[in-house]
Structures are given as structure tokens and as C-alpha cells.
Amino acid sequence: MLIHHSRRTFLRGAGVCLAVPALEALARPVAQAAATTPPRRMVCVGNEFGMYPKAFWPTEVGRDYRLPPLLEPLDEHRDRLTVFSHLDHGLKGGHFAVHTFLTGVKSSEASGMPDGGISLDQRAAEFVGSQTRFPALTIGSEGGLHGGPMMSWSRTGTRIPPITGPRELFRQLFVQDDPEQQLVATDRIALQGSILDAVLGDAKSLRRKVSQQDGHKLEEYFSAVREVEGKLQLDQQWQNVAKPKPTSDEPRNEGLTKDLPKLYDLLVLALQTDSTRVATIEVGGSFVASDLGVKKGYHGLSHHGQVQASIDLLVQLERYQVEQYGRFLGKLQAIQQPHSDQSLLDSTMVLFGSGMGNANSHTNSDLPVILAGGRFRHGEHKAYPAASSERVPLCNLYVSMLRQFGLQVEHFGTSTGALDGLESLG
């Protein structure tokens, strides 16, 4: 059944609203025959305090690098991942710059950028549009030292709040509203649409009367309205499409540390059922060390002061995070996709890293970055120039990822092009 081309779809088609790829998706049928190759997917995992550098970076470059302690849990996947050295955004700010991991841009400076402060995941989600029920899922927990990693950002500089536990994620993925709830939701969507129509009409009339400076403020306002408008249209489209059946019971929330494996497992199901093709997992300061038998706090251990006992405990916490990442890669690799010789990992690029390079010294340089899957040629530790005059922006990697995802992009954030040396398998 083709999607009805409403007034909003026409306005979007006239270039007033969201990006063209999302509009093309709105013009497709809801249920579409599977392509000959599986759709591309993207998952981004980030934490708030980075990784202890001496336990994370290999000392050798190329394919024959020895695995340092924090990478040992990834041994079985080393041919399916790449470790990067000396990539960052060239920013300072310590904890206050961690949120730039997927943007390359501080939120306070985003309005001056061509694409605002949009994050990598949300840029990919624009391209997916309405092809999936959830263009993107942001998963994690509120809290942390300064609100957590805060990885997902819209074009207008609005933070995308995370789904805060496996129970909430399970309900979004699998629990269908009853008929009465669906009717209430439909009425709510219609009412909000009517309000937006009225507000947008008034704002357009006002635009003809204001100064150039106020005109820029109005444009920012229009962008925010368009985001809401697109979300309403997506909600309306999926109201009568049944959610997939769960294969397990609803999980309990036990805190981020214990919940992390459950969140990864649910994300596997979300990708496998094509409920989403883009997701982020935020590991913030609410990660409780005591749940792993460590009596000191995560943040305190990240400021270890070169005390070896504290470093050992910090590495224990970080290794657990890497283990769960590796377990997630294993689950994706074990799933063969229908009518394809590719595993789910083959079609899913999975980024792991942080906006913090070294929490002990509050630096945001030399960010820990791993990329797995996604039909890239992997198996190496790639080291880029360390000298400040020759640094390669991390956003160059993001350009390569977006192109592999299917977007025809020339830049993203603070990029200077695509990342040299990262080859695609097609």
C-alpha cells in the first residue's frame, strides 16, 4: 500500500522540510520487497570516560599487532574490525567536550556549522527515513557526571534523550498499543498536526516583517517545527503496522552495568527484525562499578593519578565494556541474513569509542576508536599522524561510514574528506 501524499509530504518535497533521502523513503511502500543485498545498518557505542590508553593502544601498526589487555576480548573478531590511532576532533574541554564524539562539534558552536550539530547516527537516520519503524534508537541512561556521553543530536542542536533501560526498549520494540490507545494516539497526532499548521502559517507571515537577524532565528524555529512535523508523519504511518513478536519475556531493569548485555541482545533483535537500522548505546557515569565487585566509583577510578591499584580496577571496568561489545559482534556474526551470503555483522558497521581520550588528564585528543563489520576491509591497527600539523579529523572516518551506508556526502562535521586507507568491500 502506497503512503498517502499529504500536504506535509508535498511541502517536504518542495524542499521546505527534511533531507531528500528521507523524502524518497516516504514515497516508498511501507512493505517493500527485499533487495538483493541486505540493507546497510549502523550502530555507535560510546562511553563517558574513554579507555586507559596504555591498555588500549597496540604498539605495532598493521595486521600483525599484538592485542593489548583491553582488546584481548576481541581476538576472535580481529579480522572483522579495525583499531585507529590518533583520530580526534581537535577539541578541548575535558568532560564538557565528550558529547562531541559523534558530531565533531561542540553544541555551543553547532549553529555556525553547515549541518548544525547533527550526529553521525542521526545523519544516517535521515537517510533511512520511514523505511523502519524507528529511524534511529538511542539507548543508555540519564545521569553521569555531565549528563552522560550525550551522543545523539539533531540538526537543530537538540539532544536525543536515550531509552533508559531494557524494559523500556522491549516495550518500544514489541508491545503493541491496544485499540483504545491507538485511537488516542491517532487523535493526538491529528491535533498536533493542526497546531503545527496554524503555527507554521503564522510564522511564515511574520517572516516577511522581521529583520535579517530575526529571520535567522525564525529559520532555526522552522527547522525545529519541521523535525516535529516529520516525527508526527512517521508516527501516523506506523500506527497500523503490527510490531514483531518478542522471542523472550520482558526484561527487568537492574542498572546499566547489569543491563548492558540485555540492551545489546534487544538491539540484535531490533536489527534482525528491521525495526531500526541505526542505533547508539551510551555508557555513562551511571555505570555502577560495584555491580562488578569493584568498590570504587567509575569516575573516581578514571582519575587514577597513576596509582596502579586504581588503574587495574579501571581496566577491569573498561574490559567488561569491551567484552560486551565483542559479545554483540559475535551475535551479529552468527545471524545469517535471508537470501544472502552475508551475516548481520557484514551489513552492520559497529563503531566503538568515546569523546574522551584520557580522563585522568581531561584530554579529548587521541580518542579510542574501533570500527567493526559493515563490509569494510578490516584486520589492522591503522595509525595516523600524531603531529598536530598533520592530524586527521575523526570526522573523515564518519564520511567514509556515511558513504558506505549509502549517502553521497562530501563532508561531515569538521572533515577534510574521506578517511585514507579504509577500504570498502562494496
For the segment 326-343, what is each residue's pLDDT rounded down to a tens digit?
999 999 999 999 888 999
Same domain, 235 and 354: no
Q: With respect to residue 191, please indicate whether it lies within any of the assigned structural domains.
A: yes
Same domain, 215 and 364: no
> In total, how many domains does the chain have?
2
How much is the pLDDT for 388? 87
Name the band, by pLDDT with cuts 50, 70 and 90, for residue 384.
very high
Same domain, 164 and 142: yes
Same domain, 259 and 158: yes
Q: Which residue has the higher pLDDT, 72 or 219?
A: 72
Which residues does residue 134 pair with via DSSP β-bridges, in sequence order?
Answer: 276
Name the band, by pLDDT with cuts 50, 70 and 90, for residue 35.
very low
Q: With respect to residue 205, please indicate whether it lies within any of the assigned structural domains.
A: yes
Name the band, by pLDDT with cuts 50, 70 and 90, for residue 307.
very high
Same domain, 275 and 314: yes
Name the band, by pLDDT with cuts 50, 70 and 90, for residue 3.
very low
Q: CB neighbours of 126 closer than 8 A, spacing ≥ 6?
A: 18, 19, 21, 22, 118, 135
Residue 415 has pLDDT above 90, yes or no: yes
CB 74 within 8 Å of CB 352: no
How much is the pLDDT for 229? 55
How much is the pLDDT for 30? 39
What's the CATH number where 44 sits? 3.40.720
Name the band, by pLDDT with cuts 50, 70 and 90, for residue 110.
confident
Q: CB neighbours of 120 closer than 8 A, spacing ≥ 6?
A: 42, 44, 102, 103, 351, 398, 401, 402, 412
Same domain, 300 and 170: yes
Q: With respect to residue 425, please indicate whether it lies within any of the assigned structural domains.
A: no
Q: With respect to residue 234, please indicate whether it lies within any of the assigned structural domains.
A: yes
- Please identify which residue in the block is written with the cell numbers 543491563: 259
How much is the pLDDT for 28? 41
- Please identify which residue in the block is written with the cell numbers 518535497: 13
**Counting beta carbons within 10 angstroms of the beta carbon of residue 361, is it exposed (0 to 12), middle (13 to 18) or buried (19 or more)?**
exposed
3-state DSSP assignment of residue 285: coil
How much is the pLDDT for 369? 98
Residue 10 has pLDDT above 50, yes or no: no
How much is the pLDDT for 131? 87
Residue 109 has pLDDT above 50, yes or no: yes
Model confidence, pTM: 0.81
Q: With respect to residue 413, please indicate whether it lies within any of the assigned structural domains.
A: no
Q: With respect to residue 92, please indicate whether it lies within any of the assigned structural domains.
A: yes
CB 221 within 8 Å of CB 157: no
Instruction: State pLDDT tens for residues 341-370.
Output: 999 999 999 999 999 999 999 999 999 999
Element (H, E) at 359: none
CB 280 within 8 Å of CB 161: no
Residue 26 has pLDDT above 70, yes or no: no
CA–CA gap between residue 131 and residue 152 (Å, rounded): 20
Measuring CA to CA, which residue among 156, 160, 158 is closest to residue 222? 156
Give percent of the chain with pLDDT exceeding 70. Answer: 75
Q: With respect to residue 8, please indicate whether it lies within any of the assigned structural domains.
A: no
Task: Dihedral sign for Cα 370, 373, 375, 380, please.
Answer: positive
Same domain, 48 and 170: yes
Name the band, by pLDDT with cuts 50, 70 and 90, for residue 227.
low
Same domain, 233 and 278: no
Q: CB neighbours of 349 closer than 8 A, spacing ≥ 6?
A: 40, 41, 42, 43, 371, 372, 373, 374, 375, 376, 401, 404, 405
Residue 13 has pLDDT above 50, yes or no: no
Displacement of CA 229 from its chain's centroid (Å): 22
Q: With respect to residue 32, please indicate whether it lies within any of the assigned structural domains.
A: no
Q: How confident is the prediction for the chain on average, in pLDDT? A: 83
How much is the pLDDT for 15? 34
Same domain, 110 and 153: yes
Same domain, 166 and 118: yes
Q: Which residue has the higher pLDDT, 347 or 184?
A: 347
* Domain extent at residue 206: 177-241
Domain boundary among 219, 241, 263: 241
Tell me what the mean pLDDT of segment 40-59 comes to: 96
Same domain, 191 and 305: no
Domain boundary among 189, 216, 241: 241
How much is the pLDDT for 124? 96
Among 244-248, 321-325, 361-365, the range scoring the smallest mean pLDDT is 244-248
- β-bridge pairing 369-373 and 348-354: antiparallel
Among 46-50, 75-79, 196-200, the range scoring the smallest mean pLDDT is 196-200
Same domain, 377 and 266: yes
Q: Which residue has the higher pLDDT, 80 or 236?
A: 80
